[in-house]
Amino acid sequence: MSLTPPPLRDDCFALPAGTHWTPVDEALALLRERLGPVTGVETVPLAKALDRVLAEDMHARRANPPVANTAVDGYGLRHADVADGPQSLPLVAGRAAAGVPYDGVLSPGHAVRVLTGAALPEGVDTVILQEDVTTDEAVIAFHGPLKKGANTRRAGEDVAEGEMLFEAGRVLGPAEIALLVATGQAQVSVRKRLRVAVLSTGDELAEPGEAARADQVYDANRPMLIAMLRRFGFEPVDMGRAPDDRAALAVMLDKAAEQADAILTSGGASAGDEDHMSALLREAGAMSLWRIAIKPGRPLALGMWQGVPVFGLPGNPVAAMVCTLVFAGPAMGLMAGQGWQEPGRIAVPAGFSKSKKAGRREYLRARLRDGRVEVFASEGSGRISGLSWAEGLVELPDGAMEIEVGTPVTFIPYAGFGL
């Protein structure tokens, strides 16, 4: 089976008339409302399904466990034969082991040797631990009473046959794969991996490993974004660096649109003379410059190029990473068929003080230490070292806020964003 959803509309990123500064929540709501899956569907064996997105609901084809079994090494018996106090039962010949069932029906007034994972012999409804028994291999002696069903597992007590396991959009990890296998699945219908072309822009950028002029900086964005996309479970397509030349950039965007489901660029997303990315999208008639009330960040150029969504990130690496985590990542997750993924937030006491002004939502590089969250010494968006120093971001609300040591603040670990 190979199905492809309909393309997105060219005006899917258009902002309402009169919009100037877009609050973060409003920007996220617009993305959530207007984007949807763009990837096709394929069937893969479970051995190759790690980090893939389910394309359909999954139900158990088989119960787990499929039959009642013993949870321990011990002796199986009928609960009706157990009395209070000291007692003994004769052992029948044979035993039940995992994969080697007992051949026969347990006679009343008898016990049978059972090993962990063995199917319960017919007639057995209770198991006593071997540590609670003395035996001469012909008779077992033990103390009652015993609870009926002790040390046994019921058929289907984990998952019943036909039970819903996972809804479409679930990303398959090791635990999901284990449950699918245990309940009879060998292959799954999944979304094809979202292919994301990554492109940097600017004459000021030098490639890693090459000699850089004094007026150049190394392109840290592209390797960072490619690594983030891999962590998100997407397939990055490295398109290299585009010069500050509109025609050359257009050619590179054409190539990117041919190879990918989405395009992620950094630099040139504002409205200056050398911001060719936003200018090209505007000329194509499918561009919206979202001035988002966020720090770091603000300009986010969103548009369509040859029918492919373009996320134009700021050129500053810190702003590029933050805007990817907050906006582009969840939006691309929708396009990949995952549904909208909210980051995992936790409330923790601040280990810092700050007087925050109203007007923009702020994201501070932060990490947890001794039960409190501390923030990087500088909020400067040029301090790339703060990204690796941090373990996540502190999210401060749009309004004004006075923060003292101990004030509860919202911390989002990088893992909460899917990194």
Domains in the chain: how many in total? 4
**251/240 Cα distance (integer angstroms):** 12
Is there a single domain that holds both residue 170 and residue 223?
Answer: no
Instruction: Give the pLDDT of residue 393.
Output: 97
pLDDT at 417 over 70: yes
CA distances from 353 to 284, 377, 380 (A): 46, 12, 17
* 218 and 303 belong to one structural domain: yes
CA separation for the pair 105, 85 (Å, rounded)? 26
82 and 139 part of one domain = yes
Higher model confidence: residue 207 or residue 266?
Answer: 266
Question: Same structural domain for residues 187 and 198?
Answer: no
Q: What is the CA angle 378-383-387, rounded to 5?
A: 95
Residues 314 and 206 in one domain: yes
**Residue 244 pLDDT:** 80
Q: How far is C-alpha 106 from the geometric centre of its chain's CA atoms? A: 49
Separation of alpha carbons 104 and 110, rounded Å: 13
Residue with the bigger pLDDT between 215 and 195: it is 195
Chain position carrying tokens 């009169």: 18
Q: Are residues 131 and 180 in the same domain?
A: no
Specify whether 305 is located in the same domain as 208.
yes
pLDDT at 16 over 80: no
Query: Does 11 reside within a domain?
Result: no
- CATH number for the domain spanning 108: value is 2.170.190.11
| Kind of pairing between the strands at 139-144 and 134-135 | antiparallel
Residue 99, pLDDT score: 92
Domain that holds residue 185: 44-50+55-64+157-191
Is 309 part of any domain?
A: yes
- Read off the pTM: 0.84
Where do the DSSP E strands lie in 122-234?
A: 126-129, 134-135, 139-144, 152-153, 164-166, 187-191, 195-201, 205-206, 217-218
3-state secondary structure of 348: strand
* Residue 350 belongs to domain with CATH number: 2.40.340.10
Is residue 409 included in any domain, yes or no? yes
Mean pLDDT lowest among 65-79, 148-162, 191-205, 339-353? 191-205
Q: Is the pLDDT of residue 273 over 50?
A: no
pLDDT value for 11: 56
Q: Average pLDDT of 151-179?
A: 96
pLDDT at residue number 2: 58
Q: Which residue has the tokens 């990055």?
A: 236
* Weakest-pLDDT range from 165-179, 187-201, 232-246: 232-246
CA dist 326 and 342 (Å) reads 9
